[in-house]
Amino acid sequence: MRFKGNDELSEQAYIYTLRFYYGSKVLWLMEVENLETCYFCQSKNIALTPYQRTIQYDGKKYQFARCQNCTGYSLLPRLTEKQVSRLYSSDYVGANENQHSTSDKEYEAKFTDLANYLASHRGTLGKTFLDYGCGANPASFKIARKNELMPHGMELTPDVRTIAQQNTGIKLLSREEIIHGDELFDVIFLGDVLEHLVDPISELKYLTNNLTVEGVLIAQGPLQGANTLTHGIVGLYSWLTHNRSTTYPPYHVSLATLRSMEELLTECNLKISFKIIYEVDWPVPSFAELLFDLTPRNMILFIAKQVDKIFAQLFRDYGTRYFVVCKKLNMIEAKS
């Protein structure tokens, strides 16, 4: 007799199935529902959503579940460690580097908020800066130096660390060196990182231990779960064509909303002390791209995005990108 367990996705919920075999005959089958929890708040109150496209990856079906508690989306089943390191080998970084060269301005623009924040707090943030998940040629290093902070970087795989060292002259640290080491940093920056993590709670809790008592953790990234007009249209289209799936690899394993980010940070003993929410073109075509490819789909998305941009000007928390600065919760409480 043998048994085998595997993850399965039903229409309604995430299910783990245990099958007990006698030879090739299934003797007994047990289904355990919702073993998984929300990536942001650990709530079990999650349900698969037809409004996000199903992903076919590595011979398996992956789907997003929406959390009723924090409104964030988590990809289920969770990717394994092996899959994650395969996703972030130098192939991924290489592909991104090529993107940089075609849109340098866009890449640099991603660091505007960081540059502004560090410049306006120059001399008050301490001495050391860590870009956690910095990539092969981080723009943040220059910004940190300009603002009197000593830059450090972390990348997951050795091949990317080697390329980064060649590009910057700085030896990057591995995840283990940071998390198991006792080095503390005054500023930790997570630029477009959290949406790639299969366990952001544990990772942030570990990282908070590497933050000095008065240190700041700065995070930025997409709010792909935000309720915007563009997201509504894309969601509706996914629902209408829910039998289709994408084969684009699941680089983003969670889709955040502002509320889910706040829950995640609170869970990790962090509190937002400064935030900016705004709208960007991505992933909708810009005006120049629209003229080049004038399809009804592109036109609808372009118009929806322009409406979203107006809303983002009118409402402070409306938008699909965030930039937040956090402090340790105990620190804030002790001061008040």
Point out which residues bind Zn ion (CB under 5 A). Answer: 38, 40-41, 43, 67, 69-70
Place of tokens 């962090």: 270
Hey, how many other C-beta atoms are within 10 angstroms of the C-beta on 8? 14
Strands 54-57 and 46-48: unpaired
Q: Angle at Cα 77 formed by Cα 3 and Cα 44, nearest 5°?
A: 100
Closest C-alpha among 322, 335, 327, 83 to residue 224: 322
Q: What tokens does 206 get?
A: 């570990």
Side chain identity, residue 236: L
The nearest distance, CB 48 to Zn ion, in angstroms, is 14
Place of tokens 């080998």: 89
If the CB atoms of residues 72 and 319 are measured against Zn ion, the closer one turns out to be: 72
Is residue 230 within 8 Å of 284, Cβ to Cβ?
yes
If the CB atoms of residues 114 and 204 are measured against Zn ion, the closer one turns out to be: 204
Is residue 16 within 8 Å of 31, Cβ to Cβ?
yes
The nearest distance, CB 112 to Zn ion, in angstroms, is 30
If the CB atoms of residues 38 and 55 are measured against Zn ion, the closer one turns out to be: 38
If the CB atoms of residues 43 and 83 are measured against Zn ion, the closer one turns out to be: 43
The nearest distance, CB 90 to Zn ion, in angstroms, is 33
CA 27/CA 37 separation, integer angstroms = 29
If the CB atoms of residues 67 and 87 are measured against Zn ion, the closer one turns out to be: 67
If the CB atoms of residues 131 and 262 are measured against Zn ion, the closer one turns out to be: 262
The nearest distance, CB 76 to Zn ion, in angstroms, is 13
Hey, how many other C-beta atoms are within 10 angstroms of the C-beta on 237? 16
The nearest distance, CB 37 to Zn ion, in angstroms, is 8
Size of the chain in residues:
336
Chain centroid to CA 26: 40
The nearest distance, CB 254 to Zn ion, in angstroms, is 10
If the CB atoms of residues 73 and 189 are measured against Zn ion, the closer one turns out to be: 73
CA 92/CA 72 separation, integer angstroms = 25
The nearest distance, CB 42 to Zn ion, in angstroms, is 7
